[in-house]
Protein backbone atom coordinates (compact mmCIF):
# COMPACT_ATOMS: atom_id res chain seq x y z
CA UNK A 1 0.00 0.00 0.00
CA UNK A 2 1.77 3.09 -1.27
CA UNK A 3 0.64 6.70 -1.42
CA UNK A 4 0.49 7.52 -5.12
CA UNK A 5 -0.16 11.16 -6.02
CA UNK A 6 -1.49 10.32 -9.50
CA UNK A 7 -3.99 7.79 -8.07
CA UNK A 8 -5.14 10.31 -5.42
CA UNK A 9 -5.69 13.06 -8.02
CA UNK A 10 -7.58 10.69 -10.34
CA UNK A 11 -9.73 9.32 -7.49
CA UNK A 12 -10.48 12.88 -6.26
CA UNK A 13 -11.56 13.90 -9.79
CA UNK A 14 -13.71 10.78 -10.26
CA UNK A 15 -15.46 11.16 -6.89
CA UNK A 16 -15.89 14.90 -7.45
CA UNK A 17 -17.59 14.20 -10.79
CA UNK A 18 -19.80 11.45 -9.34
CA UNK A 19 -20.88 13.37 -6.23
CA UNK A 20 -21.53 16.41 -8.47
CA UNK A 21 -21.65 18.85 -5.56
CA UNK A 22 -21.57 21.86 -7.91
CA UNK A 23 -24.56 20.49 -9.84
CA UNK A 24 -26.34 19.90 -6.53
CA UNK A 25 -25.96 23.52 -5.34
CA UNK A 26 -29.54 24.39 -6.46
CA UNK A 27 -30.84 21.40 -4.42
CA UNK A 28 -28.76 22.47 -1.39
CA UNK A 29 -30.10 26.04 -1.63
CA UNK A 30 -33.66 24.72 -1.95
CA UNK A 31 -33.07 22.52 1.13
CA UNK A 32 -31.72 25.54 3.07
CA UNK A 33 -34.85 27.51 2.16
CA UNK A 34 -37.14 24.72 3.39
CA UNK A 35 -35.21 23.79 6.54
CA UNK A 36 -33.60 27.10 7.48
CA UNK A 37 -30.17 25.69 8.40
CA UNK A 38 -27.98 22.82 7.25
CA UNK A 39 -25.20 21.40 9.45
CA UNK A 40 -22.34 21.39 6.91
CA UNK A 41 -19.92 19.63 9.33
CA UNK A 42 -22.43 16.89 10.18
CA UNK A 43 -23.35 16.26 6.52
CA UNK A 44 -19.68 16.11 5.40
CA UNK A 45 -18.52 13.86 8.27
CA UNK A 46 -21.44 11.41 7.96
CA UNK A 47 -21.06 11.19 4.16
CA UNK A 48 -17.29 10.61 4.55
CA UNK A 49 -17.82 7.89 7.17
CA UNK A 50 -20.42 6.12 4.99
CA UNK A 51 -17.99 6.12 2.04
CA UNK A 52 -14.96 4.95 4.06
CA UNK A 53 -17.03 2.21 5.76
CA UNK A 54 -18.25 1.03 2.35
CA UNK A 55 -14.69 1.04 1.02
CA UNK A 56 -13.63 -1.45 3.75
CA UNK A 57 -16.85 -3.46 4.23
CA UNK A 58 -18.28 -3.33 0.71
CA UNK A 59 -16.08 -6.15 -0.61
CA UNK A 60 -16.97 -8.41 2.36
CA UNK A 61 -20.68 -7.73 1.79
CA UNK A 62 -20.24 -8.61 -1.90
CA UNK A 63 -18.34 -11.81 -1.07
CA UNK A 64 -21.11 -12.76 1.34
CA UNK A 65 -23.64 -12.63 -1.51
CA UNK A 66 -21.21 -14.16 -4.03
CA UNK A 67 -20.39 -11.19 -6.27
CA UNK A 68 -16.82 -10.33 -7.29
CA UNK A 69 -15.45 -6.77 -7.53
CA UNK A 70 -15.19 -6.93 -11.36
CA UNK A 71 -18.91 -7.71 -11.70
CA UNK A 72 -19.76 -4.92 -9.25
CA UNK A 73 -17.48 -2.51 -11.14
CA UNK A 74 -19.23 -3.34 -14.44
CA UNK A 75 -22.61 -2.75 -12.76
CA UNK A 76 -21.15 0.47 -11.34
CA UNK A 77 -20.08 1.55 -14.83
CA UNK A 78 -23.73 1.33 -15.91
CA UNK A 79 -24.85 3.48 -12.94
CA UNK A 80 -22.15 6.07 -13.74
CA UNK A 81 -23.22 5.99 -17.40
CA UNK A 82 -26.82 6.86 -16.48
CA UNK A 83 -25.68 9.50 -13.95
CA UNK A 84 -23.57 11.08 -16.71
CA UNK A 85 -26.58 11.07 -19.07
CA UNK A 86 -28.62 12.84 -16.37
CA UNK A 87 -25.94 15.53 -16.09
CA UNK A 88 -25.38 16.00 -19.83
CA UNK A 89 -29.00 15.87 -21.00
CA UNK A 90 -30.51 17.61 -17.98
CA UNK A 91 -32.99 14.80 -17.36
CA UNK A 92 -33.88 13.08 -14.11
CA UNK A 93 -33.93 9.28 -14.09
CA UNK A 94 -34.82 8.99 -10.41
CA UNK A 95 -36.30 11.33 -7.83
CA UNK A 96 -35.08 12.00 -4.30
CA UNK A 97 -37.60 11.39 -1.53
CA UNK A 98 -38.85 14.26 0.59
CA UNK A 99 -37.17 15.08 3.87
CA UNK A 100 -38.17 16.19 7.35
CA UNK A 101 -36.48 19.35 8.69
CA UNK A 102 -34.92 17.47 11.64
CA UNK A 103 -32.81 15.14 9.49
CA UNK A 104 -31.99 17.33 6.45
CA UNK A 105 -28.23 17.30 7.10
CA UNK A 106 -28.17 13.50 7.13
CA UNK A 107 -30.98 12.67 4.71
CA UNK A 108 -31.05 13.54 1.82
CA UNK A 109 -27.83 15.59 2.05
CA UNK A 110 -25.20 13.16 3.45
CA UNK A 111 -27.11 10.18 2.02
CA UNK A 112 -28.07 9.75 -0.81
CA UNK A 113 -27.02 13.15 -2.26
CA UNK A 114 -23.30 12.98 -1.31
CA UNK A 115 -22.78 9.29 -0.40
CA UNK A 116 -25.32 7.89 -2.84
CA UNK A 117 -25.44 4.78 -5.05
CA UNK A 118 -23.14 6.41 -7.60
CA UNK A 119 -20.36 7.34 -5.17
CA UNK A 120 -20.55 4.02 -3.27
CA UNK A 121 -20.39 2.03 -6.51
CA UNK A 122 -17.49 4.21 -7.67
CA UNK A 123 -15.57 3.62 -4.43
CA UNK A 124 -15.74 -0.16 -4.88
CA UNK A 125 -14.91 0.17 -8.56
CA UNK A 126 -11.87 2.31 -7.68
CA UNK A 127 -10.80 -0.34 -5.16
CA UNK A 128 -10.42 -2.78 -8.05
CA UNK A 129 -7.77 -0.48 -9.58
CA UNK A 130 -6.28 1.76 -6.85
CA UNK A 131 -4.61 1.33 -3.45
CA UNK A 132 -7.04 1.70 -0.51
CA UNK A 133 -4.97 4.44 1.20
CA UNK A 134 -5.18 6.62 -1.94
CA UNK A 135 -8.98 6.20 -2.09
CA UNK A 136 -9.31 7.13 1.63
CA UNK A 137 -7.23 10.29 1.03
CA UNK A 138 -9.39 11.10 -2.03
CA UNK A 139 -12.59 10.68 0.05
CA UNK A 140 -11.23 12.98 2.80
CA UNK A 141 -10.18 15.64 0.24
CA UNK A 142 -13.66 15.48 -1.33
CA UNK A 143 -15.34 15.80 2.08
CA UNK A 144 -13.23 18.90 2.91
CA UNK A 145 -14.23 20.39 -0.44
CA UNK A 146 -17.84 19.33 0.24
CA UNK A 147 -17.80 21.16 3.56
CA UNK A 148 -16.47 24.35 1.91
CA UNK A 149 -19.12 24.18 -0.83
CA UNK A 150 -21.93 23.56 1.70
CA UNK A 151 -20.76 26.54 3.79
CA UNK A 152 -20.57 28.85 0.77
CA UNK A 153 -23.32 27.44 -1.49
CA UNK A 154 -25.32 30.68 -1.77
CA UNK A 155 -22.17 32.71 -2.61
CA UNK A 156 -21.16 30.13 -5.25
CA UNK A 157 -24.60 30.31 -6.84
CA UNK A 158 -24.39 34.12 -7.03
CA UNK A 159 -20.90 33.96 -8.60
CA UNK A 160 -21.60 31.20 -11.15
CA UNK A 161 -25.25 31.89 -11.88
CA UNK A 162 -27.61 29.31 -13.37
CA UNK A 163 -25.75 29.21 -16.69
CA UNK A 164 -22.37 28.65 -15.02
CA UNK A 165 -23.74 25.79 -12.91
CA UNK A 166 -25.33 24.18 -15.99
CA UNK A 167 -22.07 24.42 -17.96
CA UNK A 168 -20.09 22.87 -15.06
CA UNK A 169 -22.66 20.11 -14.73
CA UNK A 170 -22.39 19.22 -18.43
CA UNK A 171 -18.56 19.30 -18.40
CA UNK A 172 -18.46 16.92 -15.42
CA UNK A 173 -21.13 14.80 -17.13
CA UNK A 174 -18.84 14.25 -20.13
CA UNK A 175 -15.89 13.41 -17.82
CA UNK A 176 -18.12 10.94 -15.96
CA UNK A 177 -19.27 9.35 -19.23
CA UNK A 178 -15.62 8.78 -20.24
CA UNK A 179 -14.87 7.30 -16.78
CA UNK A 180 -17.88 4.94 -17.10
CA UNK A 181 -16.65 3.69 -20.50
CA UNK A 182 -13.07 3.15 -19.16
CA UNK A 183 -14.40 1.38 -16.04
CA UNK A 184 -16.58 -0.91 -18.16
CA UNK A 185 -13.78 -1.72 -20.62
CA UNK A 186 -11.14 -2.53 -17.96
CA UNK A 187 -13.44 -4.63 -15.76
CA UNK A 188 -15.33 -6.53 -18.49
CA UNK A 189 -11.95 -8.03 -19.51
CA UNK A 190 -11.47 -9.20 -15.92
CA UNK A 191 -14.76 -11.10 -16.10
CA UNK A 192 -13.75 -13.04 -19.23
CA UNK A 193 -10.15 -13.78 -18.20
CA UNK A 194 -10.98 -16.01 -15.23
Which of the residue ranges 28-37, 59-68, 98-107, 134-143 has the most confident prediction, judged by mean pLDDT?
134-143
pLDDT of residue 96: 52
pLDDT band (50, 70, 90) for residue 103: low
CA distances from 165 to 98, 109, 172 (A): 23, 19, 11
Residue 109 has pLDDT above 60, yes or no: yes
Closest CA to 184 of 79, 87, 66: 79
Cβ contact 104:37 at 8 Å: no
pLDDT surpasses 60 at 77: yes
Cis omega (within 30 of 0) for bond into 96: no
If you average pLDDT over residues 115-134, what whole number do you get? 86
- Cα–Cα distance for residue pair 116/20, rounded to 1 Å: 11
Would you say the pTM of this structure is higher than 0.85? no
Predicted pLDDT at 161: 83
**Rounded CA separation 186/129 (Å):** 9
pLDDT value of residue 12: 95
Helix and strand counts by DSSP (H, E) for the chain: 7, 0
Whether the per-residue pLDDT at 175 is higher than 90: the answer is no
- Choice between 193 and 81, residue whose per-residue pLDDT is larger: 81
Contact 130, 1 (CB under 8 A): no
Query: Which residue did the predictor score with more confidence, 74 or 104?
Result: 74
Mean pLDDT, range 120-135, rounded to an integer: 90
Amino acid sequence: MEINFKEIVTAVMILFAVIDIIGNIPIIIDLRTKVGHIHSEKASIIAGLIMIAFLFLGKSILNLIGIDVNSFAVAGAFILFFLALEMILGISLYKEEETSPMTASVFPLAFPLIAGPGSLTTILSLRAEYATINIVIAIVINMVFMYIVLRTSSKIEHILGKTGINILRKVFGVILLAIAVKLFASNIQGLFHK
